[in-house]
Amino acid sequence: MVSQHGILLAAHVISSFYGDLCSKVCECLLRKGTLKLDEIGKSTQLSRENVFNCLRVLIHQNCVQAFQLEQEGVKAQKSTHYMVLFDNIMHKLRATKFMQIVSEELGEDCRGIFDGLIQHGRLSLDQIIDREKQKTGSSDNQVVHDSFRRLLSARFIERCPLPGPLLTPPTDEAPAKKRGAKSGEITERKTIEQLALEAAAPSELIRFSMDTGDISEEKGEESTSIPKVGQKRKNIVLDSDDELADVNRKIEVLWRVNFEEFLWRLIHKACISHVKTSINNEASIVLSAALDLIGQSETRMNAENSPDLSINDIYEEVIKKDGGVGMDLDRVQTSLEQLGCETLATDMESYSIDIKSFIQMAQNQEVESMILKRYGKEAYKIFRLLSRAGRLVETDKISDITFVEKKETTKILFQLWKDGYLHMESMTAARPPSFHLWKVDQKRFREKFLDEMYHAVLNLKLRIAHEQDQRKEKIGLNDLSDVLQVLQIPKDKLVGELRNKVMVYRIVRATLERSLMDLDDAVVLFHHF
């Protein structure tokens, strides 16, 4: 479930990219969940044609996934449902980060192709080639093919999911027990949305393959209903009242950005930054090398612990890093011990890295930094104690451990509780007075903290838009495109009052966007992990 400010932020992002009508459809799906076409129209009060057009745009931009559901009791009839992909909407804010990663690792040729996928959502290889021809004026397709393969090899791009997988209605049967689980332990039932995403996803066998073929055959579902995808966004067909077109044919392969790979890179960066400040630079180099090795794992985003890594493999990666050339094997082993990496009982030369612990430490650092800035040093010490304890602690004990006066401790605890950061339990003793127990409710706190970050990101986005409108008036231009052209003029060619106004705007915008990027790093930590 997306929080209130998360919904408002997603609606704002869609509005800024694709207009108010698409934003209205998106907000409707975020608030009400998966809906049919007619239900969206009834809720938004938009015409059928407008809803169609909005869904076409949102599907093409990977912000909505359609799926078909067999109607109960009517085997031949299917209804089409639409689910919003909140995570993909948030990735629109990270396009600059993604493009920087591609540029640094693969170069500008690959970045040009990647920029097209960021802008258009999904493209075929032929469309990518045509786009690059128009940009460069070159007729050499080999350069584009080579760049495309490099993006695919790095897993920065992937095949698009099926446009409308067919699902059967979920049964009311009890979920099955886990294999090897303790008696009575059962799996959590998957939602229809999770099942739809799994059914739509291409298999790992072809996800990063350029081989063409019948996707429905690859999925082993020859009867899967797939709409024909044409060359343009407008040709994503939503034919009948509540159904996608039924076709069983080979379809043109479309490609999109693989957001999962970039999330791994961002969490990689956050963990290394945390280790560098909390331990030392050598430990951060060793962790970076280990994470590069883990990066080759297929299940890295879900694994709490790394696969077994040999000390020799880690050392070979370390000496490739800046600052790692002078490190010997003993220093690498010392850093691994500082990182808390465990050696295997059967092989003392192999290490396992607790990835989840590094993510949690980075999260704690973000939270404690916020508490320090907002409530002060004494509150920081109290919150840090409770966060590390993970259990109920009595007021007097908190005061004794943190060396904060009891009166001040009580005041801070009640303030944090009032603001939703702590859980309190009142205990009545045999003899008065009663006393209170405190702890950090991690689930509730994470939800609140994440919602506050969404609120802050939304405020920054609105402030950036306000600064742009305000500067447009001060520069004396009416059209936004004219303002953007002026802002691209080199500094040494600007003169007089116009130069001062443009320079002020550039500084303000750069400061706001840097703050936005830093805040988004924290959002990634808490939302995706």
DSSP string, 217-239: HHTT-TT-------SSGGG----
Rounded Cα gap, residues 374 and 210, in angstroms: 51
Rounded Cα gap, residues 456 and 463, in angstroms: 10
pLDDT digits (tens, 9 = 90+) for 144-156: 999 999 999 999 9
Rounded Cα gap, residues 342 and 357, in angstroms: 13
CA distances (Å), origin 269, targets 23, 110, 264, 274, 362: 32, 22, 9, 9, 10
86 close to 10: Cβ distance less than 8 angstroms: yes
> What per-residue confidence (pLDDT) applies to 343?
75
> What per-residue confidence (pLDDT) applies to 412?
95
pLDDT digits (tens, 9 = 90+) for 114-144: 999 999 999 999 999 999 888 877 777 888 9
**Higher-confidence residue: 480 or 519?**
519
Tokens of 254: 């479309």
What number is the average pLDDT over the span 258-281? 88
309: enclosing H helix or E strand: strand 309-310
The label of the residue with tokens 């799926």 reads 67
> What per-residue confidence (pLDDT) applies to 302?
52
pLDDT exceeding 90 applies to what percent of the chain? 38
Name residues whose C-beta falls within 8 Å of residue 357's C-beta, 6 or more positions apart in sequence: 340
- Is the pLDDT at 46 greater than 80? The verdict is yes
Rounded Cα gap, residues 149 and 64, in angstroms: 27
- Is the pLDDT at 220 greater than 70? The verdict is no
Instruction: Please give the radius of gyration of the chain, using alpha carbons only, rounded to the nearest integer.
Output: 27
517: enclosing H helix or E strand: helix 496-528
Confidence class of residue 233 from pLDDT cuts 50, 70 and 90?
Answer: very low
The pairing of strands 423-427 and 254-257 is: unpaired
Task: Classify 488 as helix, strand or coil.
Answer: coil
The pairing of strands 423-427 and 157-159 is: unpaired
What number is the average pLDDT over the span 32-47? 93
Name residues whose C-beta falls within 8 Å of residue 125's C-beta, 6 or more positions apart in sequence: 148, 210, 253, 255
What's CA 283's distance to the chain center, in Å? Answer: 27
pLDDT digits (tens, 9 = 90+) for 419-431: 888 999 987 765 5
- Is the pLDDT at 484 greater than 70? The verdict is no
Going through 330-489 in order, the beta strands assigned E by DSSP cover 342-344, 347-352, 393-394, 423-427, 435-439
265 close to 521: Cβ distance less than 8 angstroms: no
Tokens of 215: 């996707």
65: enclosing H helix or E strand: strand 64-70
> What per-residue confidence (pLDDT) applies to 486?
61
Rounded Cα gap, residues 299 and 297, in angstroms: 6
- Is the pLDDT at 407 greater than 90? The verdict is yes
> What per-residue confidence (pLDDT) applies to 225?
37
> What per-residue confidence (pLDDT) applies to 203?
86
Rounded Cα gap, residues 364 and 372, in angstroms: 12
Amino acid at 375: Y
> What per-residue confidence (pLDDT) applies to 158?
94
pLDDT digits (tens, 9 = 90+) for 284-305: 999 988 888 887 554 455 555 6
The pairing of strands 64-70 and 166-167 is: parallel
pLDDT exceeding 70 applies to what percent of the chain? 79
Task: Say how many C-beta atoms besides its own lie within 10 A of residue 493's C-beta.
Answer: 7
- Is the pLDDT at 346 greater than 50? The verdict is yes
What number is the average pLDDT over the span 230-259? 55
pLDDT digits (tens, 9 = 90+) for 66-118: 999 887 766 667 889 999 999 999 999 999 999 999 999 998 889 999 999 99
Name residues whose C-beta falls within 8 Å of residue 473's C-beta, 6 or more positions apart in sequence: none
268 close to 90: Cβ distance less than 8 angstroms: no
Name residues whose C-beta falls within 8 Å of residue 102's C-beta, 6 or more positions apart in sequence: 110, 111, 114, 151, 156
CA distances (Å), origin 207, targets 28, 160, 251, 288: 31, 8, 15, 27
Rounded Cα gap, residues 321 and 211, in angstroms: 35
- Smallest CA-to-CA distance from 253 within 197, 217, 214 is with 214
Going through 71-224 in order, the beta strands assigned E by DSSP cover 78-84, 123-124, 157-159, 166-167
Full 3-state SS string of 318-348: HCCCCCCCCCCHHHHHHHHHHCCCEEECCEE
- Smallest CA-to-CA distance from 366 within 383, 382, 378 is with 383
